[in-house]
Structure 1
Amino acid sequence: MNAPLYPIEQLQLELPELDWITDPNRIERLSQDFSWFSPVLKRQLEGKVADTVVRPRTEDEIRRLVAACARLKVPVTIRGSGTGNYGQTTPLAGGVVLDMTGYGTMLWVRPGAARAQAGIRLHQFEKAALRSGQELRCMPSTYRSATLGGLFGGGFGGVGSINFGPLGAPGNVLGLKAMTIEPEPQVVELRGAEAMRMHHLWGTNGLVLELEIALAPAQPWLETLATFTDFDAALAFADALARAPGLAKREVAFFASPVPDHLTQLAQYLPAGCHAVLSLVAEAGEEALQAMVAAHGGTVTYRRTAEEVAKSNRTLMEYTWNHTTLHALRVDKNLTYLQTSFTPGEHVRQITELTQRYAGEVLMHAEFLRSMDGLLTCSALQLVRFSSEERLDQIIQEHRDYGVRINNPHVHIVEDGKAGGDLAPDILAMKARFDPLGLLNPGKLRHWPVAPRPAP
């Protein structure tokens, strides 16, 4: 009698027409994301790899794969382009990494909304929207490679959040289509608040096939850097620009010294030791912008029109949000980062006091945005000079004791990170509904640990 086939071999024998990736080096690469931003996650996730990677191209291929995985009890970890930072695409239980980048068709664009398959790259989505005079409400700095499903499953906000808040704010995501993980997979449409029960859960409680999201009217954005010698003046300008009701804007980021010194590709525009404010403001508002910079004692050192940005294919958006961290890490590998939410109306004071408290150790980079309640505030992605895990934990706790929220980016359990505690009953019910066998990304939710692996 022949020995039973290992489940992965059985999958590949049953579904030979799928695009299987079996090269060990590619499997290792596709089992990772940008969790190496965190020295803690880099240590904890070392050596965690999938048994195989598959890149389906149609809903039917996904359905047949899911059905076979459910029947054979093979774990499934869903992946977009792997631009996240929490190890959400790193499988803790081996199994299959389901690469969705082959499933990326734009389905339709209508006034105010568009719908696409989850694997579409965001730059392709934006390009399609622009043809109708519209653009994404939320554009992560990784938009060239990031997927729509990846933004939904692991993203928070981005360029545009200064107007529309984080992606999870009501009205930004309109609906989705998802598939259950069971021997007879079901496809279900979820709308509104129900759809958001799968948001930012790293693909642990549902396989999202399509997403329908709201759009904004497109504008020609002027990209600028304004530099300052005084911290208070730079922060006051950034806050005034963010609050200015008559100035249409898509992005305002504040970089306290010495953060600009780490943006070496922009060094000619950032004098050593300066504080800087990066902005995307509607071209029609340039005169008002220039006047505000001058009133705060700053200097515009970089200016590109929308046409110039399009021709050069280079944009300041790729120096914002966690791209700032990426650029800094290329200069100093001893850095890591935090994710901090400030209190609306108190954010300027909090940024100032925390910058002074941790001078030289925690370097301030703040992104202006609207809160879930529509209030103007900041979310910081501070750079941290890493010395030890114990010191990092101490800094996080001190921030919380001070009264600001830390969404810990150094953990790989959903509840320990952005969720900030136990998940709501309706989210747990969604998990039970769409993943009754507990096969989706096991080990990332507190009550769904990694099961013992079957012997080969």
Structure 2
Amino acid sequence: MNARLRDIEQLHIELPDLDWITDPNRIERLSQDFSWFSPVLKRQLDGKVADSVVRPRTEDEIRRLVAACARLKLPLTIRGSGTGNYGQTTPLAGGVVLDMTGYNGVLWTRPGVARAQAGIRLNELEKATRPTGWELRCVPSTFRSATLGGLFGGGFGGVGSINHGPLAAPGNVLGIKAMTIEPEPQIVELRGAEAMRMHHLWGTNGLVLEIEVGLAPCQPWLETLVTFADFDQALAFADEVARAPGLAKREVAFFASPVPDYLSQLAEHLPKGCHAVLSLVAEPGEEAMKAMAAARGGTVSYRRSADEVARSHKTLMEFTWNHTTLHALKVDKTLTYLQTSFTAGQHVQQITELTKRYAGEVFMHAEFLRTMDGQLSCSALQLVRFTTEERLAEIIQEHRDYGVRINNPHTFIVEDGKAGGDLPEEVVAMKRRFDPLGLLNPGKLRHHPVAG
């Protein structure tokens, strides 16, 4: 038996009252996320598994676990619900996976703001805020299962970003409570910009316990699909709806052909070969939205009121963002995807030109949003017909040479993925402050490789 496993046994002996998961199949499953969206990550992360998984329920249980892991120098990988796509929750160095889903209380809600423990599922948090007239500003398409901590640690934006920008935009996250990873863990409250130094870093530079987020007033969202025979008219309609200042909306997504063909659960509403625009527009804006669609030659093929959506427990939100990719992969396993940020004011031209350039190989799916400084633009999660890793790398570089940003979803290194370069010194300093022993999710930061 190696030293690591003897340390794991010691951990179990010291903390017998914790909820340990010992079944090998469950440990393997809880060591994974949706990184299989990428054939590159699927190959690179094959066989990487934790030595043990634990699901603490209280801050004291987390503190005792962290103290013991620090003392034994055991790697610690933090996990929400594993809905990420980059191998964030896959431990490269074994050790312990800390499953936060048992730490899931709502601490309080107030007008425009709420605070909850990191393991709460976003859907459950919104259930707590809606009776008071407020909803979450930004949710991923995986909102039913994704956790608040997972969104903060691994998410960018989502449904609602068309109004409030990415999660990192000032005012969306107001503060966090975090714990240091050392034999005597310290609890620290971080506010504003300082709190965001732990955002979107996959739990590599801090263990977040609580998160305080801004809320938005609830609206009765009408869910629609509008289909088009013409690419340019479909894209122009999507852009027009997104830009319309008097039209309240929560989501606008553009699906160029053949993307709608992969949404098999909506097949009766999406004619073969069509281009489609999915939207959530406040119900009072329906007449204006329909007039805009008709002017562009669009057909409303699907319509559900807010009450109908609530009664059915089915929502078009689960066909947006990376759920689109998931639905497509269920139909065609040869596909993978990109993550592209376009230039505000040039996004329509860029989408049009790139769609033509990669016809038959890269299929456009664009999500309208506000940038960090409030400008309307798009991010795309294009579907890619995968052939080789070399060709995939060429496509990524060609997009960058064209002048758009690619957040590479085919790497498990933070700097090479979302950061696109070295991390700011203040983020590295946060790593030193909160993880002085280098035990958090080792191997995911280029400047801090796996020990040993």
Same fold (TM over 0.5): yes
User: What's the counterpart of residue 373 of structure 1?
Assistant: 373
Given the alignment of the two structures, is residue 197 of structure 1 paired with residue 193 of structure 2, yes or no?
Answer: no
User: What's the counterpart of residue 272 of structure 2?
Assistant: 272
1:81-160 matches, within 5 Å, as 81-160=81-160
C-alpha distance in 2 between matches for 1:260 and 1:347:
21
C-alpha distance in 2 between matches for 1:214 and 1:420:
28
Given the alignment of the two structures, is residue 30 of structure 1 paired with residue 30 of structure 2, yes or no?
Answer: yes
Summarize the Cα distance change of 1:234–1:10 in structure 2 as closer, same or farther, 3 Å threshold. Answer: same
Given the alignment of the two structures, is residue 16 of structure 1 paired with residue 16 of structure 2, yes or no?
Answer: yes
SS in structure 2 of the partner of residue 417 of structure 1: helix
User: What's the counterpart of residue 73 of structure 1?
Assistant: 73
Number of aligned residues: 450
Deviation at 1:139, TM superposition (A): 1.1
1:36-51 matches, within 5 Å, as 36-51=36-51
1:2-401 matches, within 5 Å, as 6-401=6-401
C-alpha distance in 2 between matches for 1:294 and 1:382:
27
Summarize the Cα distance change of 1:260–1:5 in structure 2 as closer, same or farther, 3 Å threshold. Answer: closer
**Residues 4, 95 of structure 2: 8 Å contact kept:** no
Deviation at 1:5, TM superposition (A): 7.5
Give the partner amino acid of 2:194.
E
Provide runs of 4+ in structure 1 moved above 4 Å.
none
C-alpha distance in 1 between matches for 2:391 and 2:279:
33
**Residues 4, 74 of structure 2: 8 Å contact kept:** no
SS in structure 2 of the partner of residue 69 of structure 1: helix
Summarize the Cα distance change of 1:6–1:229 in structure 2 as closer, same or farther, 3 Å threshold. Answer: same
Deviation digits for residues 356-415 of structure 1, max 9, x if unmatched?
Answer: 000010000000000001000000000000000000000000000000000000000000
Given the alignment of the two structures, is residue 445 of structure 1 paired with residue 408 of structure 2, yes or no?
Answer: no
C-alpha distance in 1 between matches for 2:131 and 2:55:
29
C-alpha distance in 1 between matches for 2:178 and 2:84:
21
**Residues 5, 51 of structure 2: 8 Å contact kept:** no
Summarize the Cα distance change of 1:224–1:349 in structure 2 as closer, same or farther, 3 Å threshold. Answer: same
Give the partner amino acid of 2:216.
A
1:420-439 matches, within 5 Å, as 420-439=420-439
C-alpha distance in 2 between matches for 1:277 and 1:5:
52
Deviation at 1:159, TM superposition (A): 0.3
C-alpha distance in 2 between matches for 1:133 and 1:34:
33
- Unaligned 5+ runs, structure 1: none
Deviation at 1:4, TM superposition (A): 11
- Unaligned 5+ runs, structure 2: none
Give the partner amino acid of 1:164.
H
Scaled by the length of structure 1, the TM-score of the pair is 0.98
Scaled by the length of structure 2, the TM-score of the pair is 0.99
Deviation digits for residues 221-270 of structure 1, max 9, x if unmatched?
Answer: 00000000000000000000000000000000000000000000000000
SS in structure 2 of the partner of residue 307 of structure 1: helix
C-alpha distance in 2 between matches for 1:257 and 1:126:
34
SS in structure 2 of the partner of residue 209 of structure 1: strand
C-alpha distance in 2 between matches for 1:128 and 1:346:
39
C-alpha distance in 1 between matches for 2:168 and 2:91:
25
Identity of aligned residues (%): 82
C-alpha distance in 1 between matches for 2:47 and 2:10:
24
Root-mean-square deviation over aligned CA pairs? 0.8
Give the partner amino acid of 1:264.
S
SS in structure 2 of the partner of residue 131 of structure 1: helix
C-alpha distance in 2 between matches for 1:419 and 1:121:
26
Give the partner amino acid of 1:189.
E
Deviation at 1:451, TM superposition (A): 1.5
SS in structure 1 of the partner of residue 146 of structure 2: coil
C-alpha distance in 2 between matches for 1:387 and 1:221:
40
**Residues 258, 274 of structure 2: 8 Å contact kept:** yes
C-alpha distance in 2 between matches for 1:109 and 1:134:
9
C-alpha distance in 1 between matches for 2:413 and 2:261:
34
**Residues 259, 363 of structure 2: 8 Å contact kept:** yes
**Residues 79, 100 of structure 2: 8 Å contact kept:** yes
